[in-house]
């Protein structure tokens, strides 16, 4: 195989070729590093490229595989991780200036898990400041591979750009209120927010302790399943992680959905807040699942339209508590948008946070009651297609703090459910549209299998940006 073609393989296909000895980990890493050198100036996907570490890990992986010590599907696969994660000996900025020279002395648990699985760290990806804002970047703004004038979505913006531009085989992002699913939708990726507690958060720079979780941003549901298997599991350093065994999510992808009950969420698939092109694509995607044997019905979840304000309240209060000391002593350390957001969060009355908690429990109950009747829920990921990159202007009103972006993701972080965004079509400007599939807590495999089945019957996830 021509080395220049390697970056355009799915992670699953590259894994198979590495195991068969047809592609070496060294060849794969060299191909990706060459592509990063040649192309990343267009995308601003990486904040740090771990060139020496990646080559050393590639040589080690190659030697291990040659000796018959094959560690599994991620062995020799080059990955990128959001700069919100600690990486031993590699700067970890969290997207903020005051951590520009921060170098942890240990890896986050999921970075260590990737290493134990044999994955190779290519570098640390760009992100919005502290992952608590959707747009504000302190270093550079990533560009959408489908149109360089358009935004990727945030906060896992760099992971979306890197994966969508074929600058890594698969990547990790972090999702509090939609920061994996939103950029995955706008960049044509398959991005999974796992069940809260399925993946360790030790070594993660926190945004909202009650909702943060890391997950894969990949080019297919199969790649996402393979990545999740490597990073999931119980961690004694994170008391909130599940103790249940981690299945081989990739091996569980049957592609069979006959008899699966799908609830198409009326308010969040073709309601008045959803763009007509997005709505048409999502309704058609549900029809495709129906044609594959799934039982598709509409379901109303009226409280879900309030999820974004409730999520924003949680993020504001919880992040303000984490940053209270520095915010008082060094307010200028933060960018304008984050400084205003943290200040606002610190001023939210206790009774308002308490009310948000009660509303969260009501939404969770409504979502879980629907999931008693349906195996998965289907809806749009975000109500509008990608928007142009814009400068961060001054915040002048409460609606900018509470969040006016029409994300349709927050219901599932409030309910601690797994949810994936997969491509389901394109706008008339050739920008990707995302279908969101959510399931019961702990049933990440079901969500991934429905996504995989949909991708077996469609080709949206195989489409490649013309300029890439």
Task: Give yes or no: 82 in active site.
Answer: yes
| Catalytic (active site) residue 179 | yes
Reply yes or no on whether 200 is catalytic.
no
The catalytically annotated residue of 15, 24, 92, 155 is 155
Closest CA to 205 of 357, 99, 329: 99
Q: Give 232-294 as a DSSP string.
A: BS-BTTBTTS--SPPP-TTTT-----TT-EEEEEGGGTSSTTS-HHHHHHHHHHHHHHHHTT-
The DSSP bridge pattern shows strands 295-299 and 376-380 to be unpaired
Closest CA to 120 of 54, 164, 37: 54
Distance CA 453, CA 463 (A): 17
The strand pairing partners of 265, in sequence order, are 299
Q: What one-character-per-residue DSSP string does 11-47 give?
A: HHHHHHHHHHTSS-HHHHHHHHHHHHHHHGGGT--EE
Count the neighbouring beta carbons within 10 Å of the beta carbon of residue 346: 16
Extract the tokens encoding 39.
Answer: 């192309």
In 10 A of CB 154, how many CB atoms? 29
Beta bridge partners of 252: none
Asked if 74 and 118 touch (Cβ cutoff 8 Å), the reply is yes
In whole angstroms, give the CA distance from residue 173 to residue 152. Answer: 13
> Could you say which of 179, 206, 218, 269 is catalytic?
179
User: How many Å apart are CA 228 and CA 446, to the nearest integer?
Assistant: 13
- Report residue 170 CA to chain centroid gap: 11
Q: Tell me which residues are annotated as active site.
A: 82, 155, 179
């Amino acid at each position: 195989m021509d080395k220049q073609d390697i970056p355009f393989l799915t992670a699953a296909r590259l894994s198979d070729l590495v195991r068969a000895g047809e592609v070496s980990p060294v060849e794969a890493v060299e191909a990706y590093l060459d592509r990063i050198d040649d192309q990343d100036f267009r995308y601003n996907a990486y904040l740090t490229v771990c060139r020496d570490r990646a080559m050393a890990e590639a040589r080690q992986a190659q030697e291990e595989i040659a000796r018959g010590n094959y560690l599994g599907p991620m062995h020799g696969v080059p990955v990128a991780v959001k700069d919100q994660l600690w990486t031993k000996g590699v700067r970890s900025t969290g997207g903020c200036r005051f951590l520009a020279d921060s170098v942890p002395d240990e890896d986050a648990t999921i970075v260590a898990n990737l290493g134990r699985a044999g994955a190779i760290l290519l570098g640390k990806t760009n992100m919005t400041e502290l992952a608590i804002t959707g747009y504000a970047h302190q270093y550079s703004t990533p560009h959408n591979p489908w149109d360089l004038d358009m935004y990727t979505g945030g906060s896992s913006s760099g992971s979306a750009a890197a994966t969508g531009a074929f600058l890594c085989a698969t990547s990790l992002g972090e999702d509090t209120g939609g920061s994996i699913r939103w950029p995955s939708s706008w960049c044509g990726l398959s991005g999974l927010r796992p069940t809260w507690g399925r993946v360790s958060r030790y070594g993660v720079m926190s945004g909202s302790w009650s909702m943060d979780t890391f997950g894969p941003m990949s080019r297919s549901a199969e790649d996402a399943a393979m990545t999740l298997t490597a990073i999931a599991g119980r961690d004694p350093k994170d008391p909130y992680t599940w103790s249940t065994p981690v299945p081989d999510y990739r091996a569980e992808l049957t592609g069979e959905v006959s008899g699966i009950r799908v609830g198409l969420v009326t308010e969040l698939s073709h309601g008045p807040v959803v763009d007509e092109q997005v709505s048409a694509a999502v309704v058609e995607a549900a029809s495709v699942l129906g044609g594959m044997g799934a039982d598709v019905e509409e379901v109303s979840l009226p409280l879900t339209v309030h999820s974004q304000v409730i999520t924003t309240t949680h993020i504001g209060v919880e992040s303000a508590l984490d940053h209270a000391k520095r915010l008082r002593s060094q307010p200028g350390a933060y960018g304008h948008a984050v400084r205003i957001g943290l200040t606002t969060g610190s001023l939210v009355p206790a009774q308002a946070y308490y009310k948000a908690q009660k509303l969260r429990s009501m939404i969770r109950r409504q979502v879980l009651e629907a999931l008693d009747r349906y195996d998965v829920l289907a809806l749009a990921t975000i109500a509008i297609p990608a928007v142009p990159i814009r400068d961060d202007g001054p915040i002048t009103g409460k609606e900018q703090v509470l969040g006016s972006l029409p994300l349709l993701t927050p219901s599932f972080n409030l309910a601690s459910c797994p949810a994936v965004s997969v491509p389901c079509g394109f706008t008339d400007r050739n920008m990707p549209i995302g279908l969101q599939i959510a399931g019961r807590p702990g049933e990440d495999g079901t969500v991934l299998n429905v996504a995989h089945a949909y991708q077996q019957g469609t080709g949206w996830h195989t489409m490649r940006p013309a300029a890439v």
